[in-house]
Structure 1
Amino acid sequence: MIAILAMVFLTGCKNNSSKITIVGSSAMQLLAEQAGNDYRLAHPNSNIVVQGGGSGTGLSQVQAGAVEIGTSDVFAETQKGIKASALRDHPIAVVGIVPITNKDTGVKNLSRQQLEKIFSGEITNWRQVGGKDEEITVINRSKGSGTRSSFEDIVLKGKKAVRSQEQDSNGTVKKIVSSTPGTISYISFPYANDKNIQKISLDGVKPTNKNITTNAWPLWSYEHMYTKGKPNKQIQKFINYMLSDKVQDELIPKIGYLSVNQMKVKRDSNNRITKIGN
C-alpha cells in the first residue's frame, strides 16, 4: 500500500510539473491558444492552459510566480511595479494594431495628427475629418491593456486620452464598433478581418503586415513571453516550439501575426526604431 501511494504521489508531481499556465495579453491569446493546442497534440503528457487578462496581469502574475509564462504586448521595464531584471524576455511575434470605425462614418483614411486629436478629444465630429456630420464616440481599451499602452505611446505621445468607454478585449471592441454608429477604436490585426468594420489607413498607408516590417505602418508591438528568470526544461521546450519554423513560418502568418524573423526594423522599450543589421 505504501509503495502504491508513493507511486501515485510521484505520478501526481510529474503531471503537475508538465502544466504550463500562460496568462496575459488578449492580443496574443489567439496565438497562444492555437499553438498550445497544437503542442498538446504533439506532446500528450503536456498541459498548456491559456488565459487572457491583459499584459499588466500577465507581467504581475509571472513576477509573483503564480504562472509559468506571462504574455505582454509591452516591455516589462515600461510597467510600474514590475522588476524587469527578475524576468526573462522571449519575443515571439509581432502584431499590428489598426484603428477601426463603424462603417457609417464615411472615413477610410486619417492622418496621424487627426488620429491623435480624435483620441485626445480635440476632434469630436466626423465632419472635421471628411466624414458625415456625426459625433465621434471613442472606445478605448482598459487600463492594463498592452494594446492600449502601445497605441497611446505611438499615437498620443504623452497626451492625455479623452475620457471614454473602456473595454477589456479585442472581440468586445470589434462587436461594439461594428454595431454602434459613430464609434472608433483600435484592435489587433488578427481580430480585424470583419466586413462589418472599417479599417482606417494612416496618411494613405494601409494596415498590412508587409508595411509593418519596415515601420511604414507604425502601429505595432512585440508579443512577448516572459518567464521568471531562466525557464526550466519543460517551459524552455515550449518556448523553443513557439520559435520553431512550424509556428514562425506556418501558424503565425496563418492567423494574422508577423514572425519576428520577418522584421527589417526593431523597436526598443523607448519606442526608438532602428534597422536590423545596422
Structure 2
Amino acid sequence: MFNFMSRKGITFTLSAVLMMGTLVGCGAKTETNNAAATTAATTAASASAKPTDAPKTELSGTVTASGSSALLPLVKQAATEFMEKNPKVTINVTAGGSGTGIKNVADGTSDIGNSDVEFSAEYKDKGLKDHKVAIAPFALIVNKDVKVDNVTKQQAADIYTGKITNWKEVGGNDAKIVLVHRPDSSGSRTLVKQIILDGKEFTKDGITQENSGAMKTAVVGQSGSIGYVDTPYIDDTLKALKIDGVAFTEDNIKNGTYKLFGVEHMYTKGEPTGAVKAFIEYISNKDFQAKQVRELKFLPADLLGK
C-alpha cells in the first residue's frame, strides 16, 4: 500500500510541476507579446505623428511702394491691414505716377513699383517681376454742369487732341471744354492715350494735375472740365461719361464692350522675399480679392481669366 501511494504521489507531483512550467511559459509568452505590441504601437505612433512645427519667424522691416495713384487706395488699405497683423512691419506707400514707380523699383529706390501699365522696353533687362493684383476700370469724368452723358470714342479722341473745343460740338451747351491732364509719367494718361487716342498725342492745351485725387478735385471745381480717373475716385460730385453708349460695369468689361480699364501691376526687382513677399501675397489672397478689392471699386485680378 505504501509503495503504491508513493508511486501515485510521485506521479501527481510531476504532473503538477509540468503544469506550472506550462503556465509560466504561457505567462512569459503573453508578457513578451504585450511588450512587443506596446513597442510596435509606440513606433507606429511616433512614425505617424507630425513633427513639431518650427516656430514661425515674425515678419519685420520696412517696405516701400511707389507709383500709380490710381492703385493707391487699394495699396494703402492693404498696408493698413497688413501692419495691424504684423506690427513689426512698416509699409510706406506713395504715388508719383506709374512711370515713377517702375523707375524706382528698377533703380532699387522702392521695393515695389505700382503701375497701371506694363513697363516699357527700356526696363526689359532690369529683372522686374510682375505681380498682377487688380483690374481698375477707368472713366472720362466731367463737371456736373456739362450737359453731355455720352461721347463716342472718336469724339473723346478729338477732344483730347484739340480738334473739338466746345461742348456744343458733341451735343452739349455752348461752353468751352477745359481739359485736365495727368503728367507724362502717369499710367492713367498712358492708358487713355493707348485706348482712346490710339497712340496719338494729347493737345498741350489745358491744365495738368499730379495725381488722380488732384484730377478729381480739378474737374469738380472747374466748370466745363473733363478728365479721367479710375472708378474708386468717382462719386456723386462729378459725372462719368458713357463711351459709345456703354457705361463702365463689371459685365461690360468682361464682355468686351467697355474697353477703358487697366490691369494693375506691382513690380518687384526679382522674386520678392520676406515682408515684401508676404505683403504682395496678402493683396493677392482670394479673401482680400473677393472683399476689399471689390469694396474699393476695383475688380479681382483674375476676372478676365474666368
Matches within 5 A, 1:75-114: 75-76=118-119, 78=120, 81-83=122-124, 86-114=127-155
Residue by residue, what CA displacement relative to the aligned partner does 1:25-54 show, whole Å, maximum 9, x if unpaired?
Answer: 000111000000001111122111111111
Query: For this pair of structures, how many residues does the alignment match?
Result: 249
Matches within 5 A, 1:250-269: 250-264=291-305
Q: What CA distance in whole angstroms lies between the structure 2 residues aligned with 1:146 and 1:74?
A: 6
Match among 234, 244, 266 for residue 192 of structure 1: 234
Does structure 2 conserve the Cα–Cα contact (< 8 Å) formed by 1:99 and 1:184? Answer: yes
Given residue 76 of structure 2, which amino acid in structure 1 is its aligned partner? Answer: E
Distance 1:84 1:134, change over 3 A: farther
Does structure 1 conserve the Cα–Cα contact (< 8 Å) formed by 2:60 and 2:88? Answer: no
Alpha-carbon distance, 1:140 to partner:
0.8
TM-score by length of 1: 0.85
Match among 112, 115, 126 for residue 72 of structure 1: 115
- State the superposition RMSD in angstroms: 1.8
Alpha-carbon distance, 1:246 to partner:
2.4
Match among 170, 173, 185 for residue 129 of structure 1: 170
Return the index of the structure with the highest Cα Rg: 2
Q: What CA distance in whole angstroms lies between the structure 1 residues aligned with 2:189 and 2:208?
A: 10
Q: What CA distance in whole angstroms lies between the structure 2 residues aligned with 1:189 and 1:115?
A: 18
Alpha-carbon distance, 1:15 to partner:
10
Q: What CA distance in whole angstroms lies between the structure 2 residues aligned with 1:94 and 1:158?
A: 21
TM-score by length of 2: 0.78
Matches within 5 A, 1:170-249: 170-193=212-235, 195-249=236-290
Given residue 238 of structure 1, which amino acid in structure 2 is its aligned partner? Answer: F
Structure 2: give runs of 5+ residues left out of the alignment. Answer: 1-56
Q: What CA distance in whole angstroms lies between the structure 2 residues aligned with 1:20 and 1:175?
A: 29
1:168 is aligned to 2:190: no
Which position in structure 2 is the counterpart of 1:143? 184
Residue by residue, what CA displacement relative to the aligned partner does 1:232-272 show, whole Å, maximum 9, x if unpaired?
Answer: 133211111111022100100001101012225xxxxxxxx
Q: What CA distance in whole angstroms lies between the structure 2 residues aligned with 1:84 and 1:216?
A: 35
Match among 94, 117, 141 for residue 51 of structure 1: 94
Given residue 105 of structure 1, which amino acid in structure 2 is its aligned partner? Answer: V
Given residue 102 of structure 2, which amino acid in structure 1 is its aligned partner? Answer: L
Given residue 99 of structure 1, which amino acid in structure 2 is its aligned partner? Answer: L
Which position in structure 2 is the counterpart of 1:60? 103
Does structure 1 conserve the Cα–Cα contact (< 8 Å) formed by 2:98 and 2:187? Answer: yes
Q: What CA distance in whole angstroms lies between the structure 2 residues aligned with 1:52 and 1:100?
A: 21
Does structure 2 conserve the Cα–Cα contact (< 8 Å) formed by 1:142 and 1:167? Answer: yes
Distance 1:192 1:225, change over 3 A: same
Q: What CA distance in whole angstroms lies between the structure 1 residues aligned with 2:125 and 2:227?
A: 30
Higher strand share: 1
Q: 3-state SS of the aligned residue for 1:218? A: coil
Alpha-carbon distance, 1:58 to partner:
0.5
Does structure 2 conserve the Cα–Cα contact (< 8 Å) formed by 1:214 and 1:263? Answer: no
Given residue 218 of structure 2, which amino acid in structure 1 is its aligned partner? Answer: I
Given residue 182 of structure 2, which amino acid in structure 1 is its aligned partner? Answer: R
Q: 3-state SS of the aligned residue for 2:184? A: coil
Give me the identity figure in percent: 35
Structure 1: give runs of 5+ residues left out of the alignment. Answer: 1-13, 265-275
Residue by residue, what CA displacement relative to the aligned partner does 1:42-90 show, whole Å, maximum 9, x if unpaired?
Answer: 11221111111111111111001111111111101x26x4235510000
Q: 3-state SS of the aligned residue for 1:240? A: helix
Given residue 101 of structure 2, which amino acid in structure 1 is its aligned partner? Answer: G
Q: What CA distance in whole angstroms lies between the structure 1 residues aligned with 2:87 and 2:256?
A: 40
